[in-house]
Copies of this chain bind each other. A is one copy, B any other.
Amino acid sequence: MAAMKTGPDISLIASLVGDPARANMLTALMGGRALSAGELAAEAGVTLQTASSHLAKLQAGGLVAVEKQGRHRYFRLTGPDIAAMLESMMGLAARVGHIRRQPGPKDPALRHARICYDHLAGDQGVRLFDSLTRRRLLRSSDGRLDLTAAGEKFVAEFGIDLAALAATRRPLCRTCLDWSERRSHLAGALGAALLARMVTLGWARRDAGSRVVAFSRSGQNRFDRTFPAR
């Protein structure tokens, strides 16, 4: 007879993530785009039937949502907080030494710049966040993270429509803990918009089929100039 426990039930969520196939699917969905059941099956290395079963459980558990489009069913994470939790788990796993067998060829690229749901993470993500705060374009006060007046000007000049972002229900600025850098990077609507803008400007493109964000040579230069380290 278990003692009467109170509070949220962690173990349900954790057991969903605890299966390797599901963990792979969730990691793939951290790329931010909605993926079909077939793509997720390939990503997890299981057959379509098995993947379907897993996805049904993830959906029942509230971790993923589905959108029907024709004969496809596209799955996505139900929110950025799911991605944030996964990143924090990765940080822990890295600290206690549960690194995957082989570093893998894409590993350095992932550490340099990757997608975290819809914003930039890795070395580049942390540098972006540091640059913005060091130049007082971003400030955190009262437990909230906000753009300063100078920050709003800067972002507008960078080509982002702040009014449009403010219209969404989503918080403008959030922090997200980076597993590879163990520092914070910028999430929230602004984090997503900044990455989107960089892609539009041709600085970087998203590597299809992975979370890698590949900066071009000139794009990297412009990034360094626009978001200087000091």
Partner of A97, one of B11, B62, B99, B110: B62
Residue pair B6, A106 in contact (C-beta under 8 Å)? yes
Collect the chain B residues with CB atoms within 8 Å of residue A44's CB: 2
Residue pair B20, A11 in contact (C-beta under 8 Å)? yes
Collect the chain B residues with CB atoms within 8 Å of residue A97's CB: 62
Residue pair A10, B63 in contact (C-beta under 8 Å)? no
Chain A interfacial residues counted at CB < 8 A:
74
Residue pair B110, A130 in contact (C-beta under 8 Å)? no
CA distance A13 to B19 in the complex (A): 10
Of the candidates A8, A12, A15, A140, the one having the most CB atoms from chain B within 10 angstroms of its own CB is A8
Residue pair B93, A13 in contact (C-beta under 8 Å)? yes
- Identify 19 new A-B residue pairs, CB closer than 8 A, beyond the known A7-B107, A9-B93, A12-B98: A1-B45, A2-B24, A5-B100, A8-B90, A8-B100, A9-B98, A11-B20, A13-B92, A14-B23, A15-B18, A15-B19, A16-B18, A61-B96, A61-B98, A62-B96, A62-B97, A130-B142, A133-B143, A143-B183
